[in-house]
Chain A
Amino acid sequence: MRVPPVTVSRRALLLATPVLAVAACRDRAPSRPDPDAAAITAARDTERRLIDGYDAAGAARVADVHRAHLAALGDATPSPSPTPASDPQRLVRSSVAALQRAAIGAHSGQVAATLASIAASHSAGR
């Protein structure tokens, strides 16, 4: 009997570009503001706070995970947060619900998937 492999062929649509590449294009059209801009800005702020919080705690490897999140949100050269997280693990946990809400409501499917993925990473404790 020939059986299909368990390894799944994952997707027909492969888009690995940062989300903000899309948002930046939209920003050039003044009559159509990006409906996801606020959600992206909020997610970026959280990631900046986490990066600075984990860096201050000497957890460089974990900070790198959040740098990857920030890069996926279109910010490859992060600026310091004015309010670094004093308890980054707590912020990771508390950010999940807001990120999931933002993902559910996002207009762009790619923005939604990126926010959902970051929420998933946070819910997994990263």
Chain B
Amino acid sequence: MTVDEALQAALGVEHQAVYGYGLAAAHVSGRQYSAALTALADAEARRDRLADLLRRRGQDPAAAAPAYLPPTPVTGATSALALCLSLEHAAEGAAWDLVAASSPNDEVRTLGVRWLGVAATRAAKWAGASASAEPALPGRPG
């Protein structure tokens, strides 16, 4: 995978995260609502940064789809939390790919390393809320 491919894939993940967190936030309340909104804002900021990185590399950033279909219907808090967890697992995978495709000490590598940490931390919180176990190696393929 090239850096440009990894960046486009990461941008696609963040387009989905923006949509998905907006959807999930409508089904949770209290601290989970606040956490979903924070994650949404982070995803928007990272989406914009990824698009900027692509433009600076002479690439056209892929546009978001009008809507996305969740892996399972989001009908309440439980399914909303499951969606949040799946969004962070997707982020972990995209961040792993960014790190693996990038060069030492460059901006993309740094972004990927930090994003992987954020996604794993957030996934652990969502997993705690939905009582599922988390992998020992976040983002690792296989």
Shortest C-beta distance, B121 to chain A (Å), equals: 5
Asked if B105 and A6 make an inter-chain contact with CB atoms under 8 angstroms apart, the answer reads no
Q: Do A1 and B101 touch (CB < 8 A)?
A: no
| A83 interface contact, C-beta 8 A | no
List chain A residues, Cβ under 8 A from B105. Answer: 104-105
Residue on B nearest A112 in the bound complex, by CB: B99
Hey, which chain B residues are within 8 Å of A72, CB to CB? 137, 140
**Cβ-closest chain A residue relative to B65:** A4
**A47 CB → nearest B CB, Å:** 11
Given the known A-B contacts A6-B83, A10-B90, A100-B114, are A106 and B104 also in contact in the complex, defined by CB atoms under 8 Å?
yes
Q: Given the complex, which residues of B lie within 8 Å of A81, measured CB to CB?
A: none
Please measure, in the bound complex, the distance between the C-alpha atom of A12 and the C-alpha atom of B96, giving whole angstroms. 12
Main secondary structure of the interface of B (DSSP, over half): helix
Which partner residue on chain B sits nearest A36 by CB separation?
Answer: B104
B35 within 8 A of A: no
Residue among A1, A8, A12 with most chain B CB within 10 A? A8
Q: Flag if A123 contacts B142 (CB, 8 Å).
A: no
Q: Given known contacts A7-B71, A8-B94, A126-B124, is B116 in contact with A110 (CB within 8 Å)?
A: no
Q: How far is the CB of B28 from chain A (nearest CB, A)?
A: 16
Alpha-carbon gap, A114 to B5, bound state (A): 20
- Interface bracket on B: 35 or more
Q: Can you give 9 contacting A-B residue pairs, CB < 8 Å?
A: A3-B68, A6-B20, A6-B68, A6-B70, A112-B102, A116-B113, A117-B137, A118-B137, A124-B124
With A1-B67, A8-B16, A104-B104 given, name 10 new contacts (CB 8 A).
A3-B65, A5-B68, A11-B97, A14-B141, A15-B141, A68-B137, A113-B99, A117-B116, A118-B137, A124-B134
Binding site for B on A (CB under 8 A): 1, 3-8, 10-16, 64-66, 68-69, 72, 96, 100, 103-107, 109-110, 112-114, 116-121, 123-126
Residues on B close to A: CB < 8 A?
A: 1, 5, 9, 12-13, 16, 19-20, 65-71, 83, 86-87, 90, 92-97, 99-102, 104-105, 109-110, 112-114, 116-117, 119-121, 123-124, 134, 136-142
